[in-house]
Amino acid sequence: MILTETQKTEIREFIGTVPKYQETYDELYDHILSSLGTLENENYNIDLVARIVNQDFGGFKKIVCVEADYNKQAMKNVMRDLRQEMKQQFYFPELWKTLIILALCVIIYNYSSGDFKVIRIIFGSVMLASFTPMVYYWGNRLLFKKKGSRPSIKDGGFAQQSMMLMQVAYAPFFIFIDKDALLQVTYPTALIVTLFMFFFSSIYIRSYFRLYNRNVKILLSR
Protein backbone atom coordinates (compact mmCIF):
# COMPACT_ATOMS: atom_id res chain seq x y z
CA MET A 1 0.00 0.00 0.00
CA ILE A 2 1.40 3.36 -1.01
CA LEU A 3 0.24 6.19 1.21
CA THR A 4 -0.44 9.76 0.14
CA GLU A 5 0.86 12.73 2.14
CA THR A 6 -2.69 13.43 3.38
CA GLN A 7 -2.99 9.89 4.69
CA LYS A 8 0.40 10.16 6.39
CA THR A 9 -0.70 13.41 8.02
CA GLU A 10 -3.87 11.69 9.24
CA ILE A 11 -1.75 8.91 10.79
CA ARG A 12 0.57 11.44 12.44
CA GLU A 13 -2.44 13.22 13.93
CA PHE A 14 -3.98 9.93 15.07
CA ILE A 15 -0.93 8.79 17.00
CA GLY A 16 0.45 12.26 17.69
CA THR A 17 -1.08 12.90 21.09
CA VAL A 18 -0.05 9.60 22.66
CA PRO A 19 3.77 9.26 22.78
CA LYS A 20 5.38 11.86 24.99
CA TYR A 21 8.90 11.44 23.67
CA GLN A 22 10.32 11.90 20.19
CA GLU A 23 12.03 8.48 20.07
CA THR A 24 8.81 6.60 20.90
CA TYR A 25 6.83 8.63 18.39
CA ASP A 26 9.39 8.03 15.63
CA GLU A 27 9.49 4.29 16.32
CA LEU A 28 5.68 3.96 16.41
CA TYR A 29 5.18 6.02 13.25
CA ASP A 30 7.86 4.08 11.33
CA HIS A 31 6.39 0.78 12.50
CA ILE A 32 2.87 1.70 11.38
CA LEU A 33 4.01 2.92 7.98
CA SER A 34 6.21 -0.15 7.46
CA SER A 35 3.29 -2.37 8.43
CA LEU A 36 0.86 -0.57 6.10
CA GLY A 37 3.44 -0.75 3.32
CA THR A 38 3.24 -4.53 3.32
CA LEU A 39 -0.58 -4.62 3.01
CA GLU A 40 -1.27 -4.98 -0.69
CA ASN A 41 -4.87 -6.07 -0.93
CA GLU A 42 -6.40 -3.55 1.44
CA ASN A 43 -7.42 0.04 0.93
CA TYR A 44 -6.23 2.67 3.36
CA ASN A 45 -8.50 3.46 6.23
CA ILE A 46 -7.65 5.02 9.59
CA ASP A 47 -9.27 1.96 11.21
CA LEU A 48 -6.37 -0.07 9.79
CA VAL A 49 -3.99 2.10 11.81
CA ALA A 50 -6.13 1.65 14.92
CA ARG A 51 -6.04 -2.11 14.30
CA ILE A 52 -2.23 -2.12 14.11
CA VAL A 53 -1.99 -0.05 17.30
CA ASN A 54 -4.39 -2.32 19.17
CA GLN A 55 -3.33 -5.73 17.86
CA ASP A 56 0.44 -5.25 17.58
CA PHE A 57 1.14 -2.78 20.35
CA GLY A 58 -1.70 -3.64 22.73
CA GLY A 59 -3.34 -0.23 22.39
CA PHE A 60 -2.37 3.30 23.38
CA LYS A 61 -2.42 2.50 27.12
CA LYS A 62 0.21 -0.18 26.63
CA ILE A 63 2.33 2.21 24.54
CA VAL A 64 2.26 4.73 27.41
CA CYS A 65 3.35 2.00 29.88
CA VAL A 66 6.18 0.83 27.60
CA GLU A 67 7.29 4.43 27.19
CA ALA A 68 7.37 4.99 30.97
CA ASP A 69 9.59 1.92 31.43
CA TYR A 70 11.81 3.05 28.58
CA ASN A 71 12.14 6.46 30.22
CA LYS A 72 13.43 4.89 33.46
CA GLN A 73 15.99 2.86 31.52
CA ALA A 74 17.01 5.92 29.50
CA MET A 75 17.82 7.80 32.73
CA LYS A 76 20.26 5.04 33.69
CA ASN A 77 21.65 4.99 30.13
CA VAL A 78 22.55 8.69 30.30
CA MET A 79 24.49 8.11 33.54
CA ARG A 80 26.33 5.14 32.04
CA ASP A 81 27.06 6.94 28.76
CA LEU A 82 28.33 10.01 30.59
CA ARG A 83 30.78 7.90 32.61
CA GLN A 84 31.90 6.29 29.34
CA GLU A 85 32.29 9.69 27.70
CA MET A 86 34.40 10.90 30.64
CA LYS A 87 36.70 7.90 30.18
CA GLN A 88 37.00 8.82 26.50
CA GLN A 89 38.58 12.14 27.53
CA PHE A 90 41.68 10.11 28.41
CA TYR A 91 41.98 8.61 24.92
CA PHE A 92 42.92 10.25 21.62
CA PRO A 93 41.72 12.53 20.06
CA GLU A 94 40.22 14.04 23.24
CA LEU A 95 43.38 13.34 25.25
CA TRP A 96 45.07 16.41 23.72
CA LYS A 97 42.55 18.75 25.36
CA THR A 98 42.85 16.88 28.66
CA LEU A 99 46.65 17.17 28.56
CA ILE A 100 46.42 20.92 27.92
CA ILE A 101 44.17 21.36 30.99
CA LEU A 102 46.52 19.15 33.02
CA ALA A 103 49.55 21.21 31.89
CA LEU A 104 47.69 24.38 32.90
CA CYS A 105 47.07 22.89 36.36
CA VAL A 106 50.79 22.03 36.74
CA ILE A 107 51.80 25.58 35.68
CA ILE A 108 49.36 27.17 38.16
CA TYR A 109 50.61 24.86 40.94
CA ASN A 110 54.29 25.68 40.31
CA TYR A 111 53.94 29.41 39.75
CA SER A 112 51.11 30.43 42.09
CA SER A 113 51.87 33.22 44.56
CA GLY A 114 50.79 31.46 47.72
CA ASP A 115 47.85 33.80 48.19
CA PHE A 116 44.50 32.19 49.09
CA LYS A 117 42.80 34.82 46.91
CA VAL A 118 44.13 33.00 43.82
CA ILE A 119 42.55 29.77 45.03
CA ARG A 120 39.22 31.47 45.67
CA ILE A 121 39.25 33.00 42.19
CA ILE A 122 39.95 29.61 40.54
CA PHE A 123 37.37 27.87 42.68
CA GLY A 124 34.86 30.63 41.97
CA SER A 125 35.32 30.03 38.26
CA VAL A 126 34.78 26.29 38.80
CA MET A 127 31.55 27.03 40.67
CA LEU A 128 30.39 29.36 37.91
CA ALA A 129 31.32 26.78 35.26
CA SER A 130 29.33 24.14 37.14
CA PHE A 131 26.17 25.98 36.02
CA THR A 132 26.98 25.68 32.31
CA PRO A 133 25.55 22.15 31.77
CA MET A 134 22.27 23.29 33.33
CA VAL A 135 22.16 26.51 31.33
CA TYR A 136 23.01 24.60 28.15
CA TYR A 137 20.37 21.95 28.82
CA TRP A 138 17.55 24.39 29.60
CA GLY A 139 18.55 26.73 26.78
CA ASN A 140 18.25 23.89 24.27
CA ARG A 141 15.12 22.57 25.93
CA LEU A 142 13.36 25.93 25.53
CA LEU A 143 14.61 26.23 21.96
CA PHE A 144 13.19 22.84 21.01
CA LYS A 145 9.93 23.58 22.81
CA LYS A 146 9.63 26.78 20.80
CA LYS A 147 10.15 24.77 17.61
CA GLY A 148 7.40 22.37 18.68
CA SER A 149 9.66 19.33 19.14
CA ARG A 150 8.78 16.67 21.66
CA PRO A 151 11.29 16.09 24.42
CA SER A 152 13.81 13.30 23.93
CA ILE A 153 13.44 10.16 26.07
CA LYS A 154 16.92 11.01 27.36
CA ASP A 155 15.91 14.50 28.50
CA GLY A 156 15.23 13.43 32.10
CA GLY A 157 18.67 11.87 32.37
CA PHE A 158 20.37 14.94 30.94
CA ALA A 159 18.40 17.25 33.24
CA GLN A 160 19.51 15.16 36.23
CA GLN A 161 23.15 15.08 35.15
CA SER A 162 23.20 18.80 34.36
CA MET A 163 22.98 19.49 38.10
CA MET A 164 25.52 16.90 39.22
CA LEU A 165 28.59 19.15 38.92
CA MET A 166 26.96 21.89 40.99
CA GLN A 167 26.32 19.40 43.78
CA VAL A 168 29.86 18.06 43.62
CA ALA A 169 31.66 21.41 43.30
CA TYR A 170 30.19 23.14 46.35
CA ALA A 171 31.12 20.56 49.00
CA PRO A 172 34.94 20.85 48.69
CA PHE A 173 34.65 24.65 48.76
CA PHE A 174 32.95 24.71 52.14
CA ILE A 175 35.14 21.92 53.50
CA PHE A 176 38.58 23.21 52.40
CA ILE A 177 38.56 26.62 50.71
CA ASP A 178 36.08 29.01 52.32
CA LYS A 179 37.29 31.48 54.97
CA ASP A 180 35.20 29.60 57.54
CA ALA A 181 35.97 26.16 56.08
CA LEU A 182 35.28 23.06 58.13
CA LEU A 183 38.92 21.96 57.78
CA GLN A 184 41.78 24.42 57.88
CA VAL A 185 44.34 23.16 55.40
CA THR A 186 47.69 24.46 54.17
CA TYR A 187 47.96 26.48 50.96
CA PRO A 188 49.40 23.62 48.81
CA THR A 189 46.64 21.23 49.93
CA ALA A 190 43.94 23.80 49.19
CA LEU A 191 45.52 24.46 45.79
CA ILE A 192 45.61 20.73 44.95
CA VAL A 193 41.91 20.40 45.87
CA THR A 194 41.10 23.45 43.76
CA LEU A 195 43.07 22.28 40.74
CA PHE A 196 41.58 18.80 41.03
CA MET A 197 38.08 20.35 40.92
CA PHE A 198 39.14 22.54 38.00
CA PHE A 199 40.42 19.46 36.13
CA PHE A 200 37.40 17.31 36.99
CA SER A 201 34.89 19.99 36.01
CA SER A 202 36.61 20.52 32.66
CA ILE A 203 36.33 16.76 31.96
CA TYR A 204 32.70 16.69 33.11
CA ILE A 205 31.55 19.73 31.16
CA ARG A 206 33.20 18.63 27.91
CA SER A 207 31.76 15.11 28.28
CA TYR A 208 28.28 16.44 29.01
CA PHE A 209 28.25 18.75 25.97
CA ARG A 210 29.58 16.06 23.64
CA LEU A 211 27.08 13.48 24.82
CA TYR A 212 24.15 15.90 24.75
CA ASN A 213 24.96 17.09 21.26
CA ARG A 214 25.36 13.55 19.97
CA ASN A 215 22.18 12.21 21.55
CA VAL A 216 19.63 14.97 21.87
CA LYS A 217 20.61 18.01 19.86
CA ILE A 218 21.03 16.09 16.61
CA LEU A 219 17.81 14.15 17.21
CA LEU A 220 15.66 17.17 17.97
CA SER A 221 17.18 19.64 15.57
CA ARG A 222 16.00 17.73 12.50
Q: Is 187 in the site for other proteins (CB under 8 A)?
A: no
Q: In angstroms, how far apart are the furthest CA atoms of the chain?
A: 83
CA angle, 22 as apex, 16 and 25 as ends, to 5°? 45
Count, residues near other proteins per rule CB under 8 A: 24
Q: Of 207 and 215, which has the nearer Cβ to other proteins?
A: 215
Residues 70-99 that bind other proteins (CB under 8 A): 70, 73-74, 76-77, 80
Q: Is 31 in the site for other proteins (CB under 8 A)?
A: yes
Q: Which residues contact 57 (CB under 8 A, 6 or more apart)?
A: 28, 31, 63, 66
Amino acid present at 38: T
Q: Of 74 and 134, which has the nearer Cβ to other proteins?
A: 74
At its nearest, how many Å lie between other proteins and the CB of residue 43?
20
**Distance, C-alpha 203 to centroid of its chain:** 15
Residue closest to 153 by CA, chosen among 49, 11, 25 = 25
Q: Of 34 and 160, which has the nearer Cβ to other proteins?
A: 34
At its nearest, how many Å lie between other proteins and the CB of residue 24?
9
Rounded CA-CA distance 16/121 in Å is: 50
What residue ranges bind other proteins (CB under 8 A)? 23, 26-27, 29-31, 33-35, 38, 56-58, 62, 66, 69-70, 73-74, 76-77, 80, 219, 222
